[in-house]
A and B are shown apart, each in its own frame.
Chain A
Amino acid sequence: DQQVKQNSPSLSVQEGRISILNCDYTNSMFDYFLWYKKYPAEGPTFLISISSIKDKNEDGRFTVFLNKSAKHLSLHIVPSQPGDSAVYFCAASDGGSNYKLTFGKGTLLTVNP
């Protein structure tokens, strides 16, 4: 049972345009959501997070939006750069279960020059 779902295995965008990566979750106990970027043979790199008490968090080119009623979050990257090409994982945690992360299966983002 996949509690965190990233339904798009891949996404391709042009440099300078917006990248939108989507994530859905089923567990209503999740209260903290994170996005990680991962290159092959490296560990996930933390990008941005959002608490369930907020609906938006912004950090430079990265913005995460949370729609609790729809159990949906999205990561916006503006403007996209070729160096952003990587696999992006959505992850969620439930503070009541000691913060272990449940991951989605990832979306491969390719930013074309």
Chain B
Amino acid sequence: AAGVIQSPRHLIKEKRETATLKCYPIPRHDTVYWYQQGPGQDPQFLISFYEKMQSDKGSIPDRFSAQQFSDYHSELNMSSLELGDSALYFCASSGESTGMGTDTQYFGPGTRLTVL
């Protein structure tokens, strides 16, 4: 079965640079979530989109922005990168295609961002 796809899998950036992470949800899933997992931490919710509209916002810095496009893929844009932004960034998607309801989120493999 198709899963959530994230690209790139690894990204190395310098401080103050920008980064764009991409997420392709499971086909027919209409909701996308972004999470950040620091070293030894639990994943923290950043932002979510439902039907291309922002549905919820968590502890996302103002330097970050995101959007969901007409094909339901999403991009997380990160500017003025700081050392503390180094983390795993997960995208998850949900929808009714699996019959599980909209509460079950399926995660991608993550993008490991390293800021030097």
List the interface of chain A (C-beta within 8 A of B). Answer: 32, 34, 36, 41-46, 49, 89, 93, 95, 97-106
Contacts and interface: CB of A to CB of B under 8 A. Distances in A.
Contacts, number: 62
A100 B45 CA distance: 7
Contacts of A45: 107
Contacts of B50: 98
13 contacts: A34-B105, A36-B107, A42-B109, A44-B107, A46-B105, A98-B48, A98-B55, A99-B94, A99-B105, A100-B33, A101-B33, A103-B43, A105-B41
Q: Which 10 A-B pairs have the closest CB atoms?
A: A43-B107, A103-B42, A98-B56, A32-B103, A100-B45, A98-B55, A44-B107, A43-B109, A105-B42, A43-B110
A100 B105 CA distance: 9
Nearest to A6: B42
Given A43-B107, A46-B106, A99 B42 contact: no
Nearest to A99: B103
A41 B6 CA distance: 13
Given A41-B112, A42-B109, A43-B109, A89 B45 contact: no
Nearest to B49: A98
A102 B41 contact: no
B29 to A, nearest CB: 12
Contact of A101 (B45, B108, B112): B45
Contacts of B55: 98
Most buried by B among A42, A49, A89, A98: A98
A32 B31 CA distance: 17
Interface centre among A89, A101, A102 (most CB of B within 10 A): A101
A41 B108 CA distance: 11
Contact of B104 (A46, A89, A103): A46
B96 to A, nearest CB: 12
Contacts of B104: 34, 46, 49
A46 B100 CA distance: 11
B102 interface: yes
